[in-house]
Structure formats: structure tokens, C-alpha cells
Amino acid sequence: MASIKEVAKHAGVAISTVSKVLNNYPNVSEETKEKVKAAIEELGYVPNAVAAALSSKKSGRIAIILRLYNGTSAIDEVNMQYLYGTINSARDVGLDVVTLFYSMFEDNNVEEITNYLLSQSISGIIFCGMGVTEEPARSLVNSQRFKVVSIDSPVLNESTSYVTIDQFKAQYEVAKKTKEMDPGPHKKLLYITGTMVSPVTLERLEAIKQFAKDYDMELTIKDGDFDEKKAREITLAEGEVHDMIVCASDLMAIGAMRALMDMDIFRPVCGFDGITLMGYVGQQMNTVKQDFRLAAETAVGELKRLLDGEESRAVILDHELVRLEYSDIIK
Amino acid sequence: MASIKEVAKHAGVAISTVSKVLNNYPNVSEETKEKVKAAIEELGYVPNAVAAALSSKKSGRIAIILRLYNGTSAIDEVNMQYLYGTINSARDVGLDVVTLFYSMFEDNNVEEITNYLLSQSISGIIFCGMGVTEEPARSLVNSQRFKVVSIDSPVLNESTSYVTIDQFKAQYEVAKKTKEMDPGPHKKLLYITGTMVSPVTLERLEAIKQFAKDYDMELTIKDGDFDEKKAREITLAEGEVHDMIVCASDLMAIGAMRALMDMDIFRPVCGFDGITLMGYVGQQMNTVKQDFRLAAETAVGELKRLLDGEESRAVILDHELVRLEYSDIIK
DNA sequence: CTGTTAGCGCGTTCAG
DNA sequence: CTGAACGCGCTAACAG
């Protein structure tokens, strides 16, 4: 591993000169720049990012914190998109990303987590698709020792931004679309909610209330907790007496749909996220996946902004999500 | 951010003394050790991993390289397990992991990739669930500039180990189990393979040949390419005239099963990986997931060994995989 | 435009 | 058992 010193010697210039051409600084003549580049080439020199970080005191390291749910491969899919979007766009803006799982922190207090992050020279954090309302995370965000961007969880303070889609609008529209696709009278609407502590759940719930009101439907609300089995059970119990079912997540929509199949009755059902159903959706799917990826990319951009000292803010993605009509997909 | 220097001053000792208690070196009196620890506590000091790496010249950074397949959420699930297992056990042995995607490299040649890795002070790589037979990866491994552990792809050289399950045995046994569960005569066996360039595919294929021979069945082999749709099409065309179907992956088994449902006929079908089916498998699932996680954990341990200068080797996991009988799950 | 110098925070001799 | 001193590879003033 050749070092900058050897390059300097080889090119017959000073170390700092090499550093300058490396970092594209001005005030270097074309001539010496060429000499240096030649030397770099010859020695196969590659700058040491670790040393650079130490010296410049700008680590440029950020963490992405994922939450793993057992039992729902759908979440894995979404997480993977978050991860991919984050890592890719982080590289574009010159940030290194450290992947972490929230479960690694659950036994620790804020101080321990903070120390770990600091020891890793991490200066920014992206929280993916989880409420930052629970404890270690909440305090961590509130401490403001790190710049944070949270995806889908509206937290805002001087060093915390969030990016989310317009939950209200999205939930309203997917319900509307579902209703329009089925010409039935639809008087009794069953809504299966997500986890009630989640901010997105509340927004979606408000949307469905508005929807029921606008369309003059009688609304029944059941807590599905983003859980497929719960949704299935709820549908088993309630499906018969309702004529349309809206779920706050695709996973639950799958559960509801399965229940309807068991009961051998048909009701229009819709989910929310637009996850794939075992790869059957083909072209549409990519469009949907892009949404999660887009959210992550946006988050990285936002974090970069924060790290550069700009002000925190809320970023509402008004992206046209592609929704899947499950009745078309599950036979 | 307190530095080691401040701690030293605070404790009234020299920097090196602090360093020694930090790294658990001998030759420090209990008394001063206590003083130092107190100072560390008081200042909330946390060692800077970046600086330590630079100084000791041992980065302890490894990369995990994932491959993202579009259209198969099942792969995401497996990847997530790899990632989780890797990150968690890496932390246990004091290694930092950098998450990378293979697609980031596809446009680069080996040299560029090598440079990137070197600049990141990465000394070890874990390749997850992909053949290392394709080009940038292959040369990278052959160059032996990094210690690598490949999961499920049998590559072995002085600085490369691999960990895999016993593909032959596993494929044989899952087929056997499937046959035993259905008492039919089973004379004509349809086998849908994975991607033919993948080493695991070939081993599984050998197993099924042996199986067909042992049980005196007529074997038809079709290239499914690990693709759900292809498996569906193959089954649509071939399912009728066969009385048992074995697929080299769960994803394809799902495709096959769907085709059978369309055709409204029954055939025993089995997959391989044991992925979950949208969360319906409950308890079994975790057991299965553990396999991928276990593979990753094993890989980290193996990489640690390599980095410590020990010899490379092949690790065959003879783990009892829990297989899912799809006929029981998909209604 | 170029070279000298002083650190970044830490590990590691090697005298005391 | 302790501490001063040097260096890891690089950046960032500051001189020249």
C-alpha cells in the first residue's frame, strides 16, 4: 500500500501538493498535476479514507438503522429497498454508511448507544420505517447529538428531519380507487389499522374516516397491529357483515384476502404499501419498490444537508404510489 | 468528544497508560487502573475507532456483498438474514462491517473494485449466496488481495474459505421426505433446476439424479433459473404428465404450486430453501431462517480466522434444515 | 503556485 | 510499573 508520501517523492513534489490534486483543490499547475497523477498511476496509489477522516475530522459516516420483524418477509423487502437506496446514494455524496439493526440497541440505554455511535465516528443517522416514539430511539433523537433523518415517523427538531409520503392522501386515494373499481353499493366499510402507536397509522386512520364520511359509508375500525394473522382473524369475524375492506398495510391485506378465500366470499380489499406478492406483479412492482428506495435516497440527501449545517425540515413525498388490487392478484 | 489525552491529564497519568488499560494490557497497577477508569467515566470518554485503526494499522473492517434480485421478495428475506447474522456476529468479534451490493461493482473492473475496498481499509469480504464464477467477483477472489469467505459458492484458495450446507444431502432428503408424505406410486419425476451456472444447482441436480435412480423414477429435468415464472410455465406444460415435482428453490415451488392450482390438479411439490410464505408458517419459519443466519455467522467466524492468519478451508454445515411442504400451506 | 509544519487520536517502543 | 516520544496517512493553515 503506497502512501501519499511515496507518491510525493516519486513525483518530486511535496505531500501537500499531492493532497491538493487528490482533493481537486485549485492553485496547482497543470504540469505538476500531471506529474502527480502519473506517479499515482504508477504506484497504484489509493488514498486511505480512514486517515483522511481522522485528519479532516469529518468522518462522513452515517448509520442506517433497520428494524427486523420476524415473520414478515414483506418487511425484509422494504428494508432491502431502504438499504439499497441509502447505500447507493450515500456513495454518490461521499458518505460511508454503517448498517445497524435496532434490536442491537434494545438492551442499551441512550448513553451506551451514543458512545457506540461516537466511537464509530458516526455523525448522522437514518431511522427506517419505525416510530421513533419508543425508548432508546426517542431519547437518542431528542438528545440531538446526531443529525437524524427519520423515514415515515414525523419527528422534527433542530437536528432532525423526516421524510415521509403524504399518508393521509395516499390512504384516501387507495381506498377511493378500490371503491371505484368495484361497482357495488358499499355501505359498510371495515378498516384494519396498523400499530396504534405509529404516527402513520393515525394519519391513515384520519384519512379513512374522511373517506367514509365523504362516501357516506358506515365505518368499523379494528386494530390489526400491522399483523397478518390479526387481519385474518378480524376478517374472519367481520368480513361477512361488511362489503369493503381497507387495510393499513399490504401484509394485512393479504391476511384479509386469505380469510375471504377461506370463507369463500368476495369483498374488495386493498392494502397500502404496494409490496410484491411473490414476484407476480411484474412491471408494477418495480415502480412500487422505487418508492421506498426513493424515500431512502431522499433521506440521504436530507441528512447530507443537515451535516452541512443546513436547517432541518419535513420532506413530504407526494409520489404517486402504485397500489395493487389484491383481488386481481390472488386467485 | 474527550480524547485520550484529556483522560490522561484528568487521571494524572501518561497517555500510554490510558491506552494500556483500554486495551487490557498487563503491567499497570490496580491503583492507576482505577484512577484511569474513573477519569474515563467522568469525562464520558469513548475511544475513537478510526484513530485506533489508523494507528494500529489493523482496520478490522470487512465487507458483506449482497446481491439484489428484483422480483423476488424471498431473496430479500434471505439476504436480510445474511446481513443480520453477519453484522451481529461481526460486532461480537470486533469487526466493523460495510454493506455493499454487487450491482455497485458490475460496471467496474477488478482494479477499481480493489481500490475502492483498499481505500476503505477493508481487509475481508463475505460474498453472500451468489456464484463467484462471474467476472468481477471471480477475479477479485482470485487476486487474493483480500481474505474472503463465500457462502454457498465453493471457492477455495489460500485466502478464500467457503461455507455451505451439504447441498446434495439436503436436496436428496427434501425430495425423499416429500415422496414419503404422499403414498402415490410416483413414477415420473419433474425436477426444476436453479440457474445452471450456480454451483449449488449442480450439486442439487446430482442429488436428484441419485434420488430418481434409487427410487426407480423417470426423471425430467427443466431449467427453472431460480425464476418463479419459469417454474410456473414449466409446470403448466409438464405438470400433467408427471406425478411429483421437485424444485431447486422455494420460489420456484411456489410458481409450480400456482400452476397446479390453475390446472386444478394435485401433485406433491417441494422447494428447497424453506423460506416463509408470507408469514403463515409461524414457528417453523424461525428455525429455517436461522439457517441462513447461521451460515452468515459461520462465515464471519471463518473470516476472522483467515484475518488472524489461519488457513482457509471449506465449512460444510450439516444442519437439519426444516423444509416446508407447500401442499400443506398453500390452500 | 509550491513546500514546510503542525496536528487528528491513538498504539507502541524504549528509556527511566 | 510509568511516561516521553515517534509515527500511522492525511489535511490544513501558513510561509515562501
- pLDDT over 80 at B182, yes or no: no
Which pLDDT tens digit goes with each residue over A172-199?
A: 888 887 788 777 788 999 999 988 887 7
For residue A15, give the nucleotide whose C1' atom is nearest its CA: C3
**Does residue B131 sit in helix, strand or coil?**
coil
What confidence score (pLDDT) does residue B274 get?
A: 59
Which residues of B are less than 8 Å from A68 in CB distance?
A: 80, 84
C-alpha cell at A165: 409520503
Read off the pLDDT band of B14 (50, 70, 90): confident
pTM: 0.82
- Rounded to whole angstroms, how far apart are CA atoms B302 and B313? 9
> Is B3 (CB) below 7 Å from strand C?
yes
Quick one: pLDDT at residue A226? 82
Of A99, A121, A285, the CB nearest to B50: A121
In the structure, how far is the CA atom of residue A24 from the C1' atom of nucleotide D11, in angstroms?
A: 13
Q: A with B: how many residue pairs have Cβ under 8 Å apart?
A: 142
Is some CB atom of chain B closer than 8 A to the CB atom of A46? yes
A276 interfaces chain B, CB cutoff of 8 Å: yes
- For residue B328, what pLDDT is reported? 38
User: Which of A166-180, A199-213, B43-57, B310-324 has the weakest average pLDDT?
Assistant: B310-324
| pLDDT of B183 over the 90 cut | no
The residue-averaged pLDDT of B284-313 equals: 80
Q: Which residues of B touch A278 (CB under 8 A)?
A: 72-74, 228, 251, 254, 278
Which grid coordinates belong to B99?
454493506
Q: What SS3 state is found at B126? A: strand
pLDDT in tens, A45-84: 888 888 888 887 777 889 999 988 755 556 787 889 899 9
CB contact under 8 A, B119 and A51: no
Give the DSSP H/E element, type plus range, for residue B316.
Answer: strand B314-317
Q: Look up residue B135 and give its three cell numbers.
A: 467476472
Single-letter amino acid, residue A243: D
Query: Which of A162-166, B155-159, B180-184 bottoms out in mean pLDDT, i.e. has the lowest?
Result: B180-184
Q: Which residues of A261-280 are buried (b: 16+ CB within 10 A; e: fewer)?
A: eeeeeebbbbbbbbbbbbbb
Domains belonging to chain A, first-starting first, are: 4-47 (1.10.260.40), 59-166+291-317 (3.40.50.2300), 167-289 (3.40.50.2300)
Q: Are B213 and B157 in contact (CB under 8 A)?
A: no
Burial of B154 (0-12, 13-18, 19+ CB in 10 A): middle
Nearest nt to A54, CA vs C1'?
A: C8
**Based on the number of CB atoms within 10 Å of its own CB, is A324 exposed (0-12), middle (13-18) or buried (19 or more)?**
buried
First-to-last CA distance in chain A? Answer: 59
Residue keyed to cell 458490475: B106
Query: Would you state the torsion angle of the CA atoms of residues B13, B15, B20, B22, taken in this order, to the nearest 10 degrees?
Result: 100
C7 C1' to B11 CA distance, Å: 23
Query: Which tens digits make up the pLDDT trace of B103-127?
Result: 888 888 888 888 888 888 888 999 9
- Lowest-pLDDT range of A115-129, B133-147, B172-186: B172-186
Reported confidence tier of residue A284, pLDDT bands at 50, 70, 90: very low
**Cα A261 from Cα A16, distance rounded (Å):** 71
For A50 and D11, how far is CA from C1' in angstroms? Answer: 12
Q: Are B324 and B271 in contact (CB under 8 A)?
A: yes
Q: What's the pLDDT at B70?
A: 59
Q: From the CA of A104, how many Å to the nearest CA of chain B?
A: 8
Cell of A63: 448509520
Which of B46, B101, B251 is nearest residue A118 as measured by Cβ atoms?
A: B46
Residue with CA nearest to C13's C1' atom: B16
Distances from the Cα of B165 to the Cα of A287, B169, B321, angstroms? 35, 9, 9
The predicted pLDDT at position B193 comes to: 95
Phi, psi of B63, deg, nearest 5: -115, 140
Cβ distance B272 to B203 under 8 Å? no
CB contact under 8 A, A331 and B261: yes
Q: Cα dist. B148→A316, B113, B299 in Å?
A: 42, 14, 9
Interface of B with A in 95-154 (CB under 8 A): 96-101, 104, 115, 118-121
**A325 has pLDDT over 80:** no
Question: What b/e sequence results for B34-49 when a residue is b if at least 16 CB atoms lie within 10 Å of its CB, and e otherwise?
Answer: ebbeebbeebebbbbb
Chain B residues whose CB is inside 8 A of the A258 CB are: 331
- Which tens digit of pLDDT belongs to each residue from B62-108? 999 998 875 555 678 788 989 999 999 998 888 889 999 998 888 88
Q: Which chain B residues are within 8 Å of A88, Cβ to Cβ?
A: 101, 104
- Residue in A78, A80, A260 to test binding to B, most B beta-carbons within 10 Å: A80
Using the predicted structure, report yes or no on whether residue A324 has a pLDDT greater than 50. Answer: no
Which residues of chain A make contact with B280, given a CB cutoff of 8 A?
Answer: 228
For residue A240 the three cell numbers come to 361477512
DSSP per-residue codes, A30-78: HHHHHHHHHHHHHHT----HHHHHHHHS---EEEEEE---TT-HHHHHH
Q: Which residue has the higher pLDDT, A239 or A111?
A: A239
Number of helical (H) and strand (E) elements in chain A, helices listed first: 13, 10
Name chain A contacts of B115, Cβ cutoff 8 Å.
44, 46
Closest-approach residue (CA) in chain A for B85 = A101
When pLDDT is averaged across residues B245-257 and rounded to a whole number, the result is 83
Backbone angles phi, psi at A27, to 5 degrees: 60, 40
Cell of A1: 500500500
Shortest Cα–Cα distance, A255 to chain B (Å): 9
Of all nucleotides, the one whose C1′ comes closest to residue B16's CA is: D3
Under the banding of pLDDT at 50, 70 and 90, the label for residue A323 is very low
Residue A120 DSSP class: T
B5 alpha-carbon distance from chain centroid: 42
- Best of B102, B258, B278 to disrupt the A interface (most A CBs within 10 Å) is B278
Q: For A299, how many CA atoms within 13 A lie in the half-sphere containing its CB? A: 38
A31 CB closer than 7 A to any strand C atom? yes
A263 touches chain B (CB under 8 A): no
Q: Is A50 on the interface with B (CB under 8 A)?
A: yes
Distance, CA of A94 to CA of A83 (rounded, Å): 16
CB count in 10 Å sphere of residue B153: 20
